[in-house]
Each structure stands twice: as C-alpha cells, then as structure tokens.
Chain A
Amino acid sequence: MGLEEKLPDGILLTSVEKLVNWSRKSSLWPVTFGLACCAIEMMTFGAPRYDSGRFGMEVFRPSPRQADLMIVAGRVSQKMAPVVRQIYDQMAEPRWVLAMGVCASSGGMFNNYAVVQGVDHIIPVDMYLPGCPPRPEMLIDAVLKIHAKIMNEPLGPRRKASAPDRQVELIPSSVRYAK
C-alpha cells in the first residue's frame, strides 16, 4: 500500500516494539537456579502466597533453552561458576539476569577465596537485589523493575542506534503501582 513509507519515522515500528516488549515481559519464564537460602524465598515467590503467576512467570524452567530470566539465588562458589556460565550460554536470547541477594550480587558476607565476589564477574547482570535473603516482596519488586527495563528495550540494532541512551527510572513498585 505504501502507507508505511508515508508514515513519519518511528510510528509503526515503535508500536511493534511495544507489542514485542510487552509480550516478552508478560511471560518472563525464569530458569530454575536456586543455589542457597535465597532459593527458599524464591520458592515462596512462586508459591500461592505471593504467586508469581500473577506476572506470568509461575513456570520455573529446568531447561535453560526455554527460559528468559536467570534468577541467581544464592552464593556462587568458584566451582559453580563455570556451570552458571554454561547455563547462561544455553539460554536463548533475549535473556536477563537477576542477582538475588547480597551473595550473588557482591559476595556478601562471604569475602573469601571460595565464593565468587559477585556473579557479574562471569555473566552480565541486569538487576541487583540486596537482602539476606530478600523477602519475596523484594524479589517481586526487582522483577517488576526488570519488566520496566524490558519495556524500554530497543527492537533491533537499527532502533538501538537511533535511540542510543534510553534510561528507565527504577521507581519502587509500591509507588509505581500505588492505587
């Protein structure tokens, strides 16, 4: 029809971008990756009381190829580090990483030779979540902040080049979703 040629640059594709980002954030399947005590809180996050199904992510995938989000829940020992990296590599793009708890984020109170001092030494991290362990609300908050980041993500390299520095403000969820 030639309509898309007459449309100003950005109108058609931003709508597609929004739709794609919305579908990506609405079913963000996490990979089952509990390493320590944070995993207990992560299980609570999936259980009926906090019900991650409300955000379309109740299904924890044991298969990394079917997962979009890696919640690194717990301290990563030096021996576990190559496993973390391999599972991350097996995940299909686009993929996101949430470092849950202080141990995954920076090593926490385990400042010693056995523990990786932050999982960002081996994989890129999209969200750092403090707490020891963080309560399920904190994890929901971090996940919703990742959702905000996904909604802001450019679709394809050309779009990325046209809007190189799009920052999203990470507002606390109780403020963002206040009634």
Chain B
Amino acid sequence: MAEYDDEPTGSALGFAKGFGLTFSNMFRHVATEQYPFDVKKTAPRYHGRHVLNRHPDGLEKCVGCELCAWACPADAIYVEGGDNTEEERYSPGERYGKVYQINYLRCIFCGLCIEACPTRSLTMSNEYELALDNRQDLIFTKEQLMAPLLPGMEATPHPMRLGDTDTDYYVREKGLGEVGDIQSTANAAAKTHSGRAQAIEVGRHHA
C-alpha cells in the first residue's frame, strides 16, 4: 500500500477532491438534444422516406420497370407497370408505374432501390417520423409517395409538354456533332462509351 500513501484519502482534502470532481460536472456543456422541441437537421443524404419524382412539366419519371423491386433485399417494393396511351399519358415513353407500393414495415432504408432506378424517379427524402399504429397504413401507395406538384407542373394524365418524343425528356443536347464544338464532341465520345448512363446523366442536368 506504500504507493498510495501520498493520496489524501480519509482527510478533508480527499473529501473535497472527490466531490469537487462531481460538482465540476455541473458546469460542463450539456450534450442532450431536445428532439421534439428542437429538431436537428439530418445529414443531407440521410436515407428517409421515398419520393417518386416528376419531370418539369409534371409527368411522372417512373417508367414501371420494376428494377427497384428487383434490387430490394427485403421485398418491400411492389410495382405494376401500365401502358401509356395518347389519350391518357402519365410518363413520357411507353410505360408508366400503374401501381407503386412500398411497405415501410419491410423497408430497411438501404437505398439499393435508389441506385437501381434508371430514370432517377425514386429518391429518398429526409423525413423519418413514420411510426403508426397499424400495419395497413404503413404500406405507402403511389399517391402518398408522389412528389408534390411544383409551380409550372400539371397533374397527370396529360400530353408531353417538353417535346414530341420521350427522348426530349432525357437527351437534350443542342448542336451535337457540329464540327469544332469541343464540348459536344466530348459528350458524343462519352456517349459511345457509357451509352445509356451518360444519356441519363445529361437528362438529369436538364431536369
């Protein structure tokens, strides 16, 4: 016990030292977050509730390809595709997502569906307050998942407003192939290499 002899145990000093440490915690910064009253922002890429996006004219981006449902490891997504007609058009091109459901009691918010989506129709929001008291209401349908109509958007179904064909919605490069235009030549070169992905990337910038 010799090594502890210089410790002021048992004395009044030891008492003060011990409780002094406890008391000093009174003045330390409080780490507690006051959640429901003061909500901290999530990280910008937080995986929250899904959103089905729209083109600038209000047409749906979803083409009903079911790649999200295939990618889902928890089988939480159910998609049924439908055919667009000239009278009743929901998305540019041939097909649209007729039925779209996400079961939030299966979804693990991994984001693989977002990676799989070829038109960037499906993205995730930062909303997370999802608790409900029955299982039925936690299967979100297409109406709940669709993004709200922004100014300039029109509720579906309606004809294509941004062009005559669906390519106008995805690839909108002016002067492609003109001699001397370095930018468009680079774009064309990249296109031959990565094809479809590049076309979508360009469409995304224009959207």
Chain A residues engaging chain B, CB cutoff 8 angstroms: 48-51, 54, 102, 105-109, 111, 118, 120, 125-132, 134-138, 140-142, 144-145, 149, 170, 172-174, 176-177, 179
Contact = CB atoms under 8 A, between A and B. Distances in A.
A130 B104 contact: yes
Contact of A105 (B34, B35, B75, B135): B135
A48 B105 contact: no
Given A50-B32, A108-B74, A111-B75, A138 B105 contact: no
A104 to B, nearest CB: 9
Contacts of B34: 54
A130 B32 contact: no
Contacts of A111: 74-75
B35 A170 contact: no
Interface of B: 31-39, 73-75, 103-110, 128-135, 138
Contacts of B74: 102, 108-109, 111
11 contacts: A54-B32, A102-B108, A105-B105, A108-B105, A118-B135, A128-B131, A128-B138, A140-B35, A140-B36, A142-B131, A179-B37
Given A120-B135, A128-B134, A141-B129, A173 B33 contact: no
Nearest to B34: A54
Nearest to B131: A142
Q: Most chain-B CB neighbours within 10 Å: which of A49, A125, A128, A145? A: A128
